[in-house]
Amino acid sequence: MAAAGRADSSRDRPSPAEITALIPLVRRIVASRVPDRATADDLVQETLTRVLAASGRVEPGMLEPYAIVTARNVVASLWRDQDRQRRNQHRVVDLRPPEAPDEDVLVQEDRQAVAEALTRLTDRERATLLAHEVSGQDTRSLAAELGSTAGAVAAQLNRTRARLRVEYLLAVERTEPPTDRCRPVLLAISGGDRRRQREVDAARHLLECDLCARLSEPLMGRGRAREADVRVPVQSDADVVAARSAAREVASGVGFPPTDLTAIATAVSEVTRNIVKFADAGEVVIEVLEEPRRGIRIVARDVGPGIPDVDRALRDGYSTYDGLGLGLPGARRLMDEFAIVSEVGRGTTVTMTKWVGER
Amino acid sequence: MTGTHDEGPRGVARSEAPRPLDGDEEALLPELVAHLREHRTKLRQEWVSRIREENLLQAMTSQEMSAETTSVYDNYVEVLETGSVAALQQYARDLSERIIPRGVETHEVVGIVLLLRDVLARSLFEKYQRDFGMLNRVLDAYEPAANRIANTVAVSFVDERERVIRQQQDSIRELSTPVLPVRERLLILPIIGVLDRERARQLTVQLLGGIRTHRAKVVVIDITGVPGMDETVANHLVQTVDASRLMGASVIITGLSPDIAQTLVTIGVDLSKMATIGDLQGGLEEAERMLGYAPSRPDGAPMP
Amino acid sequence: MTSGPRLFSILRQGSILIASIHTALDDSQLERFREDLIDRIGRDRAKGVIIDVAALDVVDSFATRTLRGIAEMARLRGAQTVVVGIQPDVAFVIVQLGMDTGSLVTALDLEEGLTHLAATAGASIGPAR
């Protein structure tokens, strides 16, 4: 992005060949959003026209990104126009971006990203959000209008904002998420909804999906109730030691007696070793629990081949590597609760809990 | 006095940075302090008589009362002067340590501090009653500081009390699983009564720690006085025996009742691999034989 | 014998090798420890080996198997192994893990380990052979 300095109007216009080269790209973007072939063709044409018109002001290297944004905007305006016709909607402020890009590409892109993100909300979400944020209408009167309660409206606003953040980031990145799991995961993270994050197994997805791992960073800081979790990435032998030391330290803060600290550290050692032995990458997350009692929860997850027969792996003496392989059953004996979920080809998640004063 | 200036129960002294005083307070507090110093004797006596009226601290002699109230008073004034509760906190801890064993209750400690607060407030009232505006400002400066003091003392007392209770609980637990070094390298653990999970856990900690402390090579666990145990506890006991061996000590179990033996068999313990001897006397004889016979590796010894 | 901070040391005292682990070791470091120690047992023709694990705050299944493996290899080379210094908490957790330690000879500390070797293996820290 930093390369996108101010456009230099004295620069040579790109050759028609360069514009033509953009066609497959633009077509792909438009086609993925507009099913109707004829309309799509129209929009590709419109996009290229706009790019051509603006090309003199766009840095040479920026032509392709510029085309991507423009294509999205063109599609967005189509959706908006359809919206208007359908609903005769008058409450929404005009979000249409200016006809042509301004000279400041960066600012423009940002605004476009926001605008783009807004278009991806549902009508109702957008209407409520704008009424609240732009017109300053309070949740109570909104609730009255919508036949709902103020609390429900506030919750919905929060969800909408969470979505807006996600769509904004996607628009800025000029990308569509690679899998259909991405959006639910990003939404759960953006909303800071831990339960939902568990439901969609957000942590595992972040291990698997580079895009979401990257996008989730700016989202993490928001709305998270607690940032107390300790997260240890695991790839090598040394990480096993790091993970168990971290677990011991956290457990010590929770108030476990010394024998339990050693038990917890040892259990972490066992499950973390499996990540190093069998998987490409993984992590150990250590979480302090307050409810229903004080305790510690350790989640070890990996992106790996998975365990075909979990029951067998939990029996003493089973191992696919050298030795007795008491790792999992041993760890289970050291902890109060132990659960393992494994999917062949995707990976394994071990969740184990110990409560203060259980044994 | 509605507690609006109350701080959290903890961190009264630690986390609370000295509050920026506004000009008024800064000017008033020294005047206030001077007043309280000047009338120390009279105010303190008044305070003591209020304490007596309320029947607080009856466990104390009048000499003790006099000494303690003087210290509290001086510490109190010092907090007003310096804004730092550290010294008071320390004193309150010490005081608590001294009076807790004598059965002084939390409400008494809080009560006397609140009485002092009111005695001093009343004296301020008398001094400034002609100048109502001034009185208001003096009380505004005094009240938050006084509440903070009351809070500090109460928290110190409660903390100390909790510590004492924890200590007592620990020593009771230790007593319930005594580790007796009867002679060099030999420990005896006579266990009497039901061995529940918590006691079993305690037994492990005591025994394994005791092996290291006393450099024990043989341990006799006598469970003649144990009526029975569930499978979890039995399993725990067996694990403790194995762990002792990892620390280089052999364990002999004496007084194993048929019921407990049955429980051990049920959970899959190979009794032939455990050193069990009928009674404590026999166990001790065997232990001495082992100690005199060969150190460490229990080759011929009846250990796993 | 190792580069960087010393993770372990192996000292020869008469016919006995005293191997001390100085800090928590990860799996590859433990493997290196095993290789170095077994190599030394052969070269020094030791009769007794003492492994001091007092610095380990975790002895998990891998570490236990490694210790057992060393003892077995040492036995094949004619040396007896004693593991010393297992901490109370660690001892209990090894048992809870369900590790088979039956073949492992253990003693409280270095002194006890030496006494044991003197009594059973005829090995001492006096002049070799």
ipTM score assigned to the predicted complex: 0.91
Given pLDDT bands bounded at 50, 70 and 90, which one contains residue A358? low
pLDDT at A121: 84
- The residue count of chain B comes to 304
Does an H or E element contain B113, and which?
A: helix B106-128
Candidates 1.10.3470, 3.30.1360, 1.10.490, 3.90.1570; correct CATH number of B23-171?
Answer: 1.10.490
Show residues of chain C in contact with B209, CB under 8 Å.
Answer: 88
Are B248 and B217 in contact by the 8 Å Cβ rule? The answer is yes
pLDDT at A296: 95
Interchain CB distance below 8 Å, C97 and A266: yes
Sort residue C11 into left (φ over 0), alpha (ψ -120 to 50) or beta: beta
Query: Domain ranges in chain A?
Result: 16-220, 230-355
Examine the pLDDT at C107 and tell me if it is beyond 50.
yes
Which subunits count as partners of chain C given 3+ CB pairs below 8 Å? A, B
Chain B interface test: which of C95, C104, C105, C120 (most B C-beta within 10 Å): C95
Q: How far apart are CA A40 and CA A21, in angstroms?
A: 18
Does an H or E element contain A274, and which?
A: helix A258-278
- Number of H helices and E strands in chain A, helices first, is 16, 5
Q: B180-293 belongs to which CATH class? A: alpha beta
pLDDT at A334: 94
Quote the tokens at residue A195: 């339960």
Task: For chains A and C, count residue pairs whose Cβ atoms are closer than 8 Å.
Answer: 72
Quote the tokens at residue A55: 């090309």
pLDDT at C75: 94
- Tell me if chain C has a CB within 8 Å of the CB of B114: no
Query: A30-44, A337-351, B269-283: which range is least confident on average?
Result: A30-44
Nearest CA-CA partner of A45 in A84, A74, A66, A8: A74
Sort residue B11 into left (φ over 0), alpha (ψ -120 to 50) or beta: left
Show residues of chain B in contact with C94, CB under 8 Å.
Answer: 243, 246
Can you identify the CATH homologous superfamily of domain A230-355?
Answer: Histidine kinase-like ATPase, C-terminal domain (3.30.565.10)
Give per-residue burial for C105-121: e unless 16+ CB within 10 Å, then b: bbbbbbebbbbbbbebb
Q: Which of C25, C57, C96 sits opposite A334 (nearest CB)?
A: C96
A197-240 per-position pLDDT tens digit:
888 888 888 888 888 888 887 777 544 444 468 888 998 999 99
Q: How far apart are CA A348 and CA A338, in angstroms?
A: 13
Nearest CA-CA partner of B248 in C111, C22, C12: C111
Task: Please report, as a single letter, which amino acid is at residue A73.
Answer: N
Examine the pLDDT at A324 and tell me if it is beyond 80.
no
Q: How far apart are CA B230 and CA C95, in angstroms?
A: 19
- The average pLDDT across A169-174 equals 84
Nearest CA-CA partner of B153 in B99, B215, B194: B99
Task: Return the DSSP state at A15.
Answer: P
Question: What contacts B103, CB < 8 A, 6 or more positions away?
Answer: B59
Examine the pLDDT at A11 and tell me if it is beyond 90.
no
Q: Within a 10 A sphere around the Cβ of A149, how many other Cβ atoms?
A: 13
**Could you please report the per-residue DSSP string of A214-262?**
HHHHHHHTSS-S----EEEEE-SHHHHHHHHHHHHHHHHHHT--HHHHH
Coil, helix or strand at residue A152 = helix
* Phi and psi torsions of C25, nearest 5°: -115, 145
Chain C interface test: which of B240, B242, B247, B299 (most C C-beta within 10 Å): B247
B180-293 shares the fold of B23-171:
no
Quote the tokens at residue B83: 């804004």
- Tell me if chain C has a CB within 8 Å of the CB of A251: no
Given pLDDT bands bounded at 50, 70 and 90, which one contains residue A195? confident
pLDDT at B12: 38
Coil, helix or strand at residue C87 = coil
Which strands form B250-254's sheet, in the order they lie side by side?
Answer: B180-183, B186-192, B218-225, B250-254, B275-277
- Tell me if chain C has a CB within 8 Å of the CB of A9: no
Coil, helix or strand at residue A41 = helix
Which strands form C16-21's sheet, in the order they lie side by side?
Answer: C8-13, C16-21, C48-52, C80-84, C106-107
Residue B240 vs residue A108, higher pLDDT: B240
Query: Domain ranges in chain B?
Result: 23-171, 180-293
- The residue count of chain A comes to 359
Which subunits count as partners of chain A given 3+ CB pairs below 8 Å? B, C
Examine the pLDDT at A321 and tell me if it is beyond 80.
no
Query: Domain ranges in chain C?
Result: 8-117
Which residue ranges of chain B lie beneath pLDDT 50?
A: 1-21, 294-304
**Where is mean pLDDT largest: A81-90, A134-143, B170-179?**
A134-143
Q: Is A309 exposed, middle or buried (0-12, 13-18, 19+ CB in 10 A)?
A: exposed
- Tell me if chain C has a CB within 8 Å of the CB of B294: yes
Coil, helix or strand at residue B22 = coil
- The average pLDDT across C81-109 equals 93
Examine the pLDDT at A248 and tell me if it is beyond 90.
yes
Provide the mean pLDDT of chain A: 78
Residue A335 to residues A90, A270, A326, C13: CA-CA distances in angstroms? 60, 12, 14, 42
Interchain CB distance below 8 Å, A359 and B201: yes
Q: C8-117 belongs to which CATH class? A: alpha beta
Are A116 and A72 in contact by the 8 Å Cβ rule? The answer is yes
- Tell me if chain A has a CB within 8 Å of the CB of B204: yes
Task: Please report, as a single letter, which amino acid is at residue C104.
Answer: L
Q: How far apart are CA A86 and CA A91, in angstroms?
A: 14
Nearest CA-CA partner of C109 in A69, B214, B143, A209: B214
- Tell me if chain C has a CB within 8 Å of the CB of A100: no
Nearest CA-CA partner of A119 in A70, A149, A150, A76: A76
Interchain CB distance below 8 Å, A241 and C26: yes
Given pLDDT bands bounded at 50, 70 and 90, which one contains residue A12? low
- The average pLDDT across C48-71 equals 95
pLDDT at A207: 82
Examine the pLDDT at A98 and tell me if it is beyond 80.
no
Handedness of CA B156, B160, B163, B169 (dihedral sign): negative
